[in-house]
Amino acid sequence: MTKSELIVRLAARFPQLVAKDTDFAVKMVLDAMADALAQGDRIEIRGFGSFSLNYRPPRVGRNPKSGEKVQVPEKYVPHFKAGKELRERVDIIG
């Protein structure tokens, strides 16, 4: 499912809204989530999951082409942990 398919599905759920508002709402939610992470905040959606940042300490890496050593600075990477409901609904094997 892509973002545009998600918008189509939501528009079908909300026939009273104009499609433009549903489109805007989806983009607004995604922007707000990205902005929250970009300023170091967490996101917690009950039944879905939580997004947080994981720290990666500075390290010495290598340029794979030249073999040269390069200093890779510390950074944060986004991390998602699925919530209970999502975990259980997706796990059709277990």
- Cβ partners under 8 Å of residue 83, min gap 6: 45, 46, 47, 48, 49, 50
Determine the size of the site formed for other proteins (CB under 8 A): 56
How far apart are the C-alpha atoms of 54 and 79, rounded to whole Å? Answer: 6
Single residue of 58, 69, 80, 84 touching other proteins by CB under 8 A: 80
75 near other proteins, rule: CB under 8 A? yes
**CA quadruple 68, 78, 11, 91: dihedral positive or negative?**
positive
Q: Is 91 in the site for other proteins (CB under 8 A)?
A: yes
71 binds other proteins (CB under 8 A): no
44 forms part of the interface with other proteins (CB under 8 A): yes
* By the rule CB under 8 A, 18 interacts with other proteins: no
